[in-house]
Structures are given as C-alpha cells and as structure tokens.
Amino acid sequence: EAEVAAGFCDDILIANQVIGLDKCARVAILAKSGIDIKVAVDSKVGFEQMSKAAQDTETTVGVLVEVNIGFRAGTAPGEAAVALARQLSDTPGIELRGLMGYEGPAAGIEERERREAMAKQALDRLLSTVPLFKEAGFPTDIVSAGSTGTYDMTGRMDGVTEIQAGSYVLMDTAYGKEGLPFEQAFWVLGTVLSRPSPGSVSADCGHKSCSQDHGMPDVRSVPGATVTFLADEHAMIAVPPGSTLKPGDRLQLVPSHIDPTINLHDVFYALQGDTVVGVWPIEARGYAEQRMEL
C-alpha cells in the first residue's frame, strides 16, 4: 500500500510493524527515493531489522514508537515506551519521530457516549507517555492515533497531532450505524441468479465478493430485502413476497466492512450519477509483491 501511495504522496505512515528484512528493504527503498516514510516499532527486533535495511540502502527511515493502548500491538505505556525510545535513539539508519497508538475496539461501538469514553480511556495511555518523551528529550512532533469512528473525539484531545481515519472516504454499514457525517460512496453490484421461492432470491455476490466479518451486507436497492447467508459464490436474500425481482436483475449491496471487501476486487467503477466515468485499478489488493522500482 505504501508503494502505491508513493505515486501520489510524499508523506506516508505505515501504521503497523514491518518485520522481515525483505519487507524492511522495500521500506528503505521508498525512503531512499525521497518519500518521508515512517513505520511503527514496538520491539528491538523491529527497529534493528529496519536499521539494517536502511544502512544497506544508505538512507534513513523514520519510526514511531507504538504504545499499546488496549488493542493489537505496542509497547507498554510510560517508562517502557521511553526505554524502547532510548534503545533505538542512537541506532544508525533510523530516526525517532514520535509516538502512535490505535484505539481500535472503541471505533466499533455504536453508542457515541460509550465509544467516546472507551476512546478517551485508551488514548490517555498514549498521551500520558508524551510528557515522558519530552522530559527525556525525544521528539513528539508526531502523535498519531484515531480512526473513522473516533476521528472527532481523538482530534479534540490535546496532544494528538494526526488522525489515522480511512474508511470515511467510502464508508460501510458498520460505521454507518454510528451516526457519522460521511456518506456511503461504495457498493458491490450483484446479479440475481435464481428465484427459488416467492420469498427468496440467490445472487452472484457471496463472500468472494463481500466481506462479512462485521455482519451481512445490506441490500440498498430493494426495500425489505435482507441477506440471510453468504456462500462462496452466492448470496441468499430474503425478499418481500410481492417483490418483482427476477434472474438478471441487478442489486446494490453495501458491505459491513469496506477494507477487506475492496481487497477482493481488481477495479473500482467510478460513477457520476448513473454514468461510469472511470475504471480505477485497485493496485494494493491481494498478496504482497514488488509493485515498483524507485
């Protein structure tokens, strides 16, 4: 994804650990090309591998210490994060740029007050580490956090300098339940294959077309229709008995989780009204490969 973004952006954060010398080498190539690239680190292994790759490429890679604020990764907040910063601060080939944390569990809570309370509790762990970094003389110019579900909450917290929101651009049903001010701009187009009963149809948009890890997709184009089951190739959809749907009719499905759904497809069809105005390749989808030489 960073290699694709490098084609139109010169300031990139990989908000994740990059482990493996082959992957670190690809990050170093981006840095060598002039991209201001940063990666998250939370271990000695992580920063030593990145250091080696950067030195081999004769460049410098920016790093953010990731603080564990209750989700998927990170070093412990407070003194443990400062200790990691001390370890890496004199390591050649890498430059400490700041901190980051991700309050992922909060992002999926529908009720705003609970979502905000959980986000604040998580971010307090990150922000309590910032003054310790300052006292130790480490940079805090970048304090990165947030998500689509918490963008406005995180953005109001003193000390956070950037937001990691992404899904807001296209949206999905999971975030659509949270009362956010973003419009749905993406759907999967399916085709009815069969009407096996008055109350059901099957369509060609199973879980090879739509992710269901956050729930079934919504059928936006047919009032009263509900997806009941996704198989590999088929979506089983309950429809009102009076529905006129028949084989060949098209359906608009909105996925519950936009990110993995996009990863299933090769292109976007860009619409203006009802007119296709562009076909955009999804260049970062699927397995990782060398996408470009810089």
What confidence tens digit (pLDDT) does each residue in 254-289 have?
999 999 999 999 999 999 999 999 999 998 887 555
What confidence tens digit (pLDDT) does each residue in 101-131 have?
998 889 889 999 999 999 999 999 999 999 9
Average pLDDT, integer, range 158-177? 96
What whole-number percentage of the chain has pLDDT above 70? 97
Domain spanning 2-165 has what CATH number?
3.20.20.10
CA pair distance 13, 131, nearest whole angstrom: 22
**Spans of all domains in the chain:** 2-165, 188-281
> Which CATH superfamily hosts domain 188-281?
D-serine dehydratase-like domain (2.40.37.20)
pLDDT the model gives residue 293: 47
What confidence tens digit (pLDDT) does each residue in 192-226 have?
999 999 999 999 999 999 999 999 999 999 999 99
pLDDT at residue 291 is higher than 70: no
Mean pLDDT of the chain: 94
Whether the Cβ atoms of residue 99 and residue 82 lie closer than 8 Å to each other: no
